[in-house]
Amino acid sequence: MRVLMIAPPGAGKGTQGERIANHYGVRHISTGDLLRDQVARRTDLGRRVSAYVDNGELVPDDVVLEIVREALQEASQTETRGYVLDGIPRTIQQARDLYLVAREFDMTADVALHLRVSEAEIVRRLLARASAQRRADDTEQVIRRRLELYTGVTAPILDWYAERGILVTIDGEGPAQHVTKKIFEAVDRLQREQHDVIDVRNPLEMKSLESAFDGTPSDDNRIDSWAVPVVAATLGAS
């Protein structure tokens, strides 16, 4: 089982990703955790991440993809050859790059799991989290702007995975255990469908995918693409 988690901040990707991984006996790969681990172990990649953070810059996609490549390679050597990937893709360009990396190990995704949560609920959750973590920069205006950008760059990703026949959209509101139950039911149903038709995934047409990149946001408009505060917090930054 290979699952991509696609959801806005505050939708519960981390919680549900862990539960899915435990249920299917595969590795939960969190890009945030990978970045923090590299920094903590002071690896070559970790020092590169620290350099960007120390200079107040975003961690580039190629650095994150290099770390994800290592994780996928490790997962490819396990008995299940599965994973739940949380934190990427966030843009159509990342979706393309991730596909190419996964294809190196014959580990392309079986399911693109989209957690759908209303804007009002996301704002409520993030404001509560900001208050608990005393993050004065996460105002309602900032959060709504992030969600607006998220929706704009994520729509093409969802459309592409839907065309491939691997998109599963779940209502992410309500008690976490109820959301988990709906996820398992939907994923198991898709697995049965894939088994019945051998492989429901449509062949990837790189030409059509490339055309989707024409709408890729510029660097000035990309959202949360490895935001500094997330990593900086692990380094003891205020």
Q: What is the pTM of this model?
A: 0.78
> At a CB cut-off of 8 Å and minimum separation 6, what does 183 contact?
16, 19, 20, 113, 168, 170
**Mean pLDDT value of segment 158-183:** 93
Name the residue range of residue 209's domain. Answer: 2-235
> Is residue 95 exposed (0-12), middle (13-18) or buried (19+ Cβ within 10 Å)?
buried
Rounded distance between C-alpha atoms, residue 200 and residue 108, angstroms: 13
**Mean pLDDT value of segment 94-100:** 92
231 pLDDT above the threshold of 70: no
pLDDT of residue 50: 87
pLDDT of residue 187: 93
> How confident is the prediction for the chain on average, in pLDDT?
82
Residue 112, classed as helix, strand or coil, is strand
**Overall domain count for the chain:** 1
222 pLDDT above the threshold of 70: no
The CATH number linked to 139 is: 3.40.50.300
pLDDT of residue 106: 94
Quick one: which of 152, 25, 41 has its CA closest to 90? 152
Structure tokens at 207: 């030409």
Helix axes of 92-104 and 140-164: crossing angle, nearest 10 degrees: 50
